[in-house]
Amino acid sequence: MKIKCPKCKKDAELAPDFSFVKCDGCGLDMSYGEYVKYVAHNDATYTDILGDYAGSTEGESSGTLDEWD
Q: Determine, yes or no, domain membership for 65.
A: no
Q: In this predicted structure, what is the pLDDT of residue 39?
A: 86
Q: Determine, yes or no, domain membership for 61.
A: no
| Residue pLDDT, tens place only, 34-69 | 998 888 888 777 666 666 655 555 555 555 656 655
Q: Determine, yes or no, domain membership for 67.
A: no
Q: Determine, yes or no, domain membership for 27.
A: yes
Q: Determine, yes or no, domain membership for 69.
A: no
Q: Determine, yes or no, domain membership for 66.
A: no
- pTM equals 0.61
Provide the domain limits for residue 47.
2-54
Whether the per-residue pLDDT at 8 is higher than 60: the answer is yes
Q: Determine, yes or no, domain membership for 12.
A: yes
Residue at 60: amino acid letter: E
Whether the per-residue pLDDT at 32 is higher than 70: the answer is yes
Q: What is the distance between the alpha carbons of residues 63 and 59, in angstroms, rounded to a whole number?
A: 12
Q: In this predicted structure, what is the pLDDT of residue 42?
A: 80
Instruction: Give the pLDDT band (50/70/90) at residue 5.
Output: very high
Domain count, the chain: 1
Report the candidate in 37, 41, 35, 5 with the shortest Cα–Cα distance to residue 20: 35
